Structure formats: structure tokens, C-alpha cells
Amino acid sequence: GAGVSQSPRYKVAKRGQDVALRCDPISGHVSLFWYQQALGQGPEFLTYFQNEAQLDKSGLPSDRFFAERPEGSVSTLKIQRTQQEDSAVYLCASSRDSYEQYFGPGTRLTVT
Amino acid sequence: DAKTTQPPSMDCAEGRAANLPCNHSTISGNEYVYWYRQIHSQGPQYIIHGLKNNETNEMASLIITEDRKSSTLILPHATLRDTAVYYCIVRVTNTGNQFYFGTGTSLTVIP
């Protein structure tokens, strides 16, 4: 079946621009996670949704980062006034249960 | 969640078993050991997880020591496509708990 999809796959933004990254989870998966992966590092947790409720946003690095999942399916990660340090791969994962998380291919964001 | 320690890199000859170690000396009784891998430019992929007993699936085997302070992921017959970064994670299995990935072990399978 279809896996987790993310769009766009690549995004180049000028410093100060706003960006929106989309995640389509596997159908029926209740849980959705966003991670940020800097070059050469492992993924780091940003935020977590259970259905439409954002239950944990402790990993969001600043108030410029905002995530939503209004209907409990598709999720959008928005970054306002992008900075160079925001350059990274943003990964989305979904889960049906408490065990496996299925990851999308990620969106590579480059801020120039 | 407990922290893990992995060697930064390893090599393995194609066709041989790859044995990837992980130390998790502060693991709690209710924490599982998970292994994920990440092939270049892809998202992490689940491999296997376990609590106390050794586990095997079509991809790999997971050997957990009796005191649960360390584990080994075994890829029985490594292929070039197994070249990836392998992450060992310990985690309380509870809805909403994120994974703490660390920096993993970069495995290179050599022809």
C-alpha cells in the first residue's frame, strides 16, 4: 500500500521567507510525528499529533515553527521567517500503534 | 528514555554477517530496544524491536543480553544494499513517545 508521502521533496527559500511542508500519512494512522534532521545527525523530534490533537510540541525549536493537522490526516509544518539554521531535512512519520513508525522520504529545506 | 552508545562506523564484507553492537546500560524494565536504519536520502526504516527475548524477522536478528544492558543487531548475510546508518533506540512503548535517534553506526558493506 501507499506509504507516507511528503511534499515538496526539495525546497529552497530565501532567508526571511515563510515555508509550508506537507505530510500525507498512511491512511488510518492515528499518530503523526515530525522530525528535523541536520546534516550528519540523527533525526530529532519536533512535534507529535494524535488525530487532530497536538499532544507534544516540546521539540519545536522556536515560535517560528508551527504544525497543524486539522482533520486528523494531512499535516503541515510551517516555518515563518526562515533562518539559515533551519536548513535541514524534515521527516514525517505515522504510526497505527505504539510500536513502529513509518517514515516518509523527507523534505530537504535549504535557506539561502 | 535511556541513552544508547554505538560505534560511529563499521565495515562488513558482502555475504558475511554484520554484527552491530549497542550499549544501553541505563535501560529501564519497561523500555524496548528498537533498531532503525537510514539509507542515504531516504527516511528511516524500521528493522526490529524487542524487550527481553531475542527476536528474529526476515530482515535481521536482535540479541539482547540477559541484563539488557546491551544488544546486537545481526544482518545474517550482508548485501551492498544494507549499506546505511543503523540507529539503536530504547523507548518506552507508549503512544506519543518519540524516538531519540542519536548518531547511529554507519555500516559500509564492501564487495
Q: For B70-110, how does the pLDDT look when each residue is reduced to its tens digit (9 = 90+)?
A: 999 999 999 999 999 999 998 876 556 778 888 899 999 99
- Residue B17, SS3? coil
Q: Work out whether strand A53-56 and strand B70-75 pair parallel, antiparallel, or are unpaired.
A: unpaired
Which residues does A5 contact at the CB level (< 8 Å), separation at least 6? Answer: A23, A24, A104, A105
- Asked if A22 and A7 count as a contact pair (C-beta separation under 8 A), the reply is yes
**Do the Cβ atoms of A91 and B100 come within 8 Å?**
no
- Whether residue A33 is predicted with pLDDT greater than 80 in this model: the reply is yes
Please tell me which of the candidates A35, A42, A55 has its beta carbon nearest to residue B102.
A42
What pLDDT is stored for residue A97 in this prediction?
A: 78
Please tell me which residue of chain B has the smallest CA distance to A59: B98
Backbone angles phi, psi at A56, to 5 degrees: -150, 120
The distance of B27 to chain A (nearest Cα, Å) reads 17
Alpha-carbon span B17 to B33, nearest angstrom: 20
Please tell me which of the candidates B42, B95, B101 has its beta carbon nearest to residue A105.
B42
Q: Please give the biggest Cα pair distance in chain B.
A: 41
Q: Work out whether strand B55-56 and strand B61-64 pair parallel, antiparallel, or are unpaired.
A: antiparallel
What pLDDT is stored for residue A27 in this prediction?
A: 94
Please tell me which residue of chain A has the smallest CA distance to B88: A42
- Whether residue A1 is predicted with pLDDT greater than 60 in this model: the reply is no
Chain A positions touching chain B (beta carbons under 8 Å): 4, 30-31, 33, 35, 40-45, 48, 50, 55-56, 59, 91, 93, 95, 97-106
Tell me which chain B residues have a C-beta less than 8 angstroms from the C-beta of A97.
95
> How many other CB atoms are found less than 10 A from the CB of residue B29?
7
The distance of B86 to chain A (nearest Cα, Å) reads 10
- Asked if B109 and B78 count as a contact pair (C-beta separation under 8 A), the reply is yes
- Asked if B22 and B4 count as a contact pair (C-beta separation under 8 A), the reply is yes
- The single-letter code of the amino acid at B9 is S
**Do the Cβ atoms of A43 and B99 come within 8 Å?**
yes
Q: Which residue has the cell 509544518?
A: A77
- Whether residue B53 is predicted with pLDDT greater than 60 in this model: the reply is yes
Instruction: Tell me the pLDDT of chain B averaged across its residues.
Output: 91
User: pLDDT-based confidence at A2, cuts 50/70/90?
Assistant: confident
Instruction: Tell me the pLDDT of chain A averaged across its residues.
Output: 94
Q: Which cell goes with B103?
A: 548518531
- The single-letter code of the amino acid at B8 is P
Q: Which cell goes with B12?
A: 562488513
**Do the Cβ atoms of A42 and B49 come within 8 Å?**
no
- B98, B100, B103, B105: best mutation site toward chain A, by most A Cβ within 10 Å? B98
Tell me which chain B residues have a C-beta less than 8 angstroms from the C-beta of A33.
98
What pLDDT is stored for residue B84 in this prediction?
A: 97
pLDDT digits (tens, 9 = 90+) for A49-104: 999 999 999 999 999 999 999 999 999 999 999 999 999 999 999 998 767 899 99
Helix/strand/coil percentages in chain B, nearest 5: 5, 50, 50
Mean pLDDT, range A27-46, rounded to an integer: 93
- Asked if A52 and A15 count as a contact pair (C-beta separation under 8 A), the reply is no
Which residues does B61 contact at the CB level (< 8 Å), separation at least 6? Answer: B48, B54, B55, B73, B74, B76
Tell me which chain B residues have a C-beta less than 8 angstroms from the C-beta of A95.
95
Stronger pLDDT, A1 or B47, i.e. the higher one: B47
Secondary structure element (H or E) that encloses residue B38, with its range: strand B31-38
